[in-house]
Structure 1
Amino acid sequence: MLKKKFKLFGAALALSAMTLAGCSGSGETGGSSSGDSNGGGGESVSVVLKTLSSPYWKYVEAGAKAAGEEFGVDVTVVGPAAESEVIQQVNMLEDQVSQSPGAILVAPSQPETVVPVLENASSSGLPVLLIDTDVEFEGKTTFIGTENFTAGQEGGKLLASMLEKGDKVVLISGALGNPATDERIKGAKEALEAAGMEVVAEQPADSDKAKAMSVMENILQNDKDIKGVFAANDDMAIGVLRAVQAENLDVKVIGTDGTEEAVQSILDGKLAGTIAQSPYNMGYQGVENALKVMKGESIDERIDAGIDIITKENAQEQLDFLKSISE
Structure 2
Amino acid sequence: MKAFIAGVAVMATVLASPNLLAAPTMTIPVIVKNTSVPFWQAVFAGACTAGKKYGVTVPRLGASSEADMSGQIGIFENAVSGKPAAIVITPVSAEALGPAIDEAATKIPVVVADTPSNSKQVAATVMTDNVAAGRLGADTLAQEIQKKYGKAEGQVAILQFLPGVKSVQDRVDGFKDQVAKKYPGLKVVTTRIGDGSVTGSLNTTLDVLSTFPQLRGIFGDTFYSGLGVGQGIAETKAKDRVMGVTVDSTDELVKLVRSGDMKALIVQDPFQMGYLSIETAVKKVKGEKVNTFVDTGVHVIRSADLDTPEGKRLLNPDLSCR
Give the TM-score taking structure 2 as reference length: 0.84
Deviation of 1:225 after TM superposition, in Å, equals 2.4
The answer as to whether partners of 1:264 and 1:319 remain within 8 angstroms in 2 is: no
Match of 2:144 among 162, 170, 174: 162
CA distance in 2, matches of 1:58, 1:110: 19
Change beyond 3 A, Cα 1:294–1:261: farther
Deviation of 1:142 after TM superposition, in Å, equals 0.8
Residue in structure 1 matched with residue 228 of structure 2 by the alignment: 239
Aligned-pair identity (%): 25
Residue in structure 2 matched with residue 67 of structure 1 by the alignment: 50
Q: Tell which has more relative contact order, 1 or 2 (C-alpha 8 A, sep 6+).
A: 1
Give the partner amino acid of 1:240.
V
Residue in structure 2 matched with residue 174 of structure 1 by the alignment: 161
Pair 1:308-2:299 in alignment: yes
Pair 1:39-2:50 in alignment: no
Residue in structure 1 matched with residue 246 of structure 2 by the alignment: 255
Higher normalized helix content (fraction of residues): 2
Larger Rg: 2
Comparing 64-73 with 100-109, greater Cα deviation is found at 64-73
Deviation of 1:93 after TM superposition, in Å, equals 1.1
Deviation of 1:75 after TM superposition, in Å, equals 0.6
Deviation of 1:71 after TM superposition, in Å, equals 2.7
For residues 88-237 of structure 1, what are the structure 2 equivalents within 5 Å?
88-124=71-107, 126-163=108-145, 164-194=151-181, 195=183, 196-237=185-226
SS of the residue aligned with 2:303? coil
Change beyond 3 A, Cα 1:93–1:36: farther
Match of 2:284 among 279, 288, 293: 293
The answer as to whether partners of 1:36 and 1:69 remain within 8 angstroms in 2 is: no
Give the partner amino acid of 2:216.
K
CA distance in 1, matches of 2:188, 2:299: 25
SS of the residue aligned with 1:200? strand
Query: Over residues 220-246 of structure 1, what are the superposed CA-to-partner deviations in whole Å (9 max), with x where a residue is unaligned?
Result: 232232211100012321221111211
Which structure 1 residue ranges, 5 or more long, are not aligned?
1-34
CA distance in 1, matches of 2:171, 2:207: 22
Deviation of 1:303 after TM superposition, in Å, equals 1.3
CA distance in 2, matches of 1:99, 1:110: 23
SS of the residue aligned with 1:198? strand
Which structure 2 residue ranges, 5 or more long, are not aligned?
1-18, 146-150
Query: Over residues 225-277 of structure 1, what are the superposed CA-to-partner deviations in whole Å (9 max), with x where a residue is unaligned?
Result: 22111000123212211112111113211111244443443234332111111
- Note the aligned Cα RMSD (angstroms): 2.2
